Amino acid sequence: RQAVRESRAIIESHRAQVVVGFGGYVSLPVYLAARKAGVPVVLHEGNAVPGLANRVAARFAAVVATTFAATPLRRAVHVGLPVRAAIAGLDRSRLRASARAGFELPASGPVLLVSGGSQGARSLNQATAGAYPRLLAAGVSVLHVLGSANFTEAEVAVTDAATGATYRPVGYVDEMADAYAAADLMLARSGAGTVMETAMTGLPTIFVPLPHGNGEQARNAAFLIEADAARLVPDADLDADRLVTEVLDLLADPERLLRMAATARRLVPGDAATRLAG
């Protein structure tokens, strides 16, 4: 009740004409305060499985927008995920050469991007550490975003003398658009942002959903998996051998990668930011 009172004071002191919320526990008091103050609420649910705050607010919000078409919210309008213009309008082929140069990756040959998000992901990192020598030997370079907390002085670049392929470990990437542009394939968790950004940019991805929580990560990627626009590997099944098999299998079929990219782009709206703002 105190949080609702404080939220209403902020709304009224700023003479807010609309409240926009993206869920999370801090949103609910503001949603309720806006309702009491007679201020319309616009909410956006980013995940396939909606959280409690947005489930409550969907009952009275003026606009209920979702990232995923199948998100079960009342009166929901599917708009996609609002992202910055650098992602929404990314031309990977045009930026590939400069992006690879920026990461000191070979200009030619396939590149695998591995990222478990800003904090990294242990299972992805461990599988990649065991797999990259074989990937390099097969001519596949690896851009490995370990997460800042996991990056140490022991993490060094390695180049295969025979193929010229390079393993490039980094702690964090400031601009993921560059990483997407440099890559031909990605290994990633399936958080809503990663699922939508890789689909929007046409980057084929092997998703390894976080095995905890309410299963939302698997649900996030389901529509792409069902359309053969991405691959899914359960976290418990991911090891170095599985990673090598998955990567080499996909990279050996360029036509399939093109189909995956085209299907993913077709399934994901690229104008969500404009639609939500409107």
Average pLDDT, the chain: 94
Identify whether the C-beta of residue 214 lies closer than 8 Å to the C-beta of residue 104: no
Residue 64 has pLDDT above 70, yes or no: yes
Indicate the Cα dihedral angle 67, 71, 77, 78, nearest 10°: 40
What pLDDT score was predicted for residue 144? 97
Residue 119 has pLDDT above 70, yes or no: no
Residue 121 has pLDDT above 80, yes or no: yes
User: Can you tell me the distance from the alpha carbon of 64 to that of 21, in angstroms, rounded to the nearest whole number?
Assistant: 10
Identify whether the C-beta of residue 169 lies closer than 8 Å to the C-beta of residue 151: yes
Please give the structure tokens belonging to residue 167.
């393993």
213/120: higher pLDDT: 213
Residues in the chain: 278
What's the mean pLDDT in 116-139?
A: 89
What pLDDT score was predicted for residue 120? 54
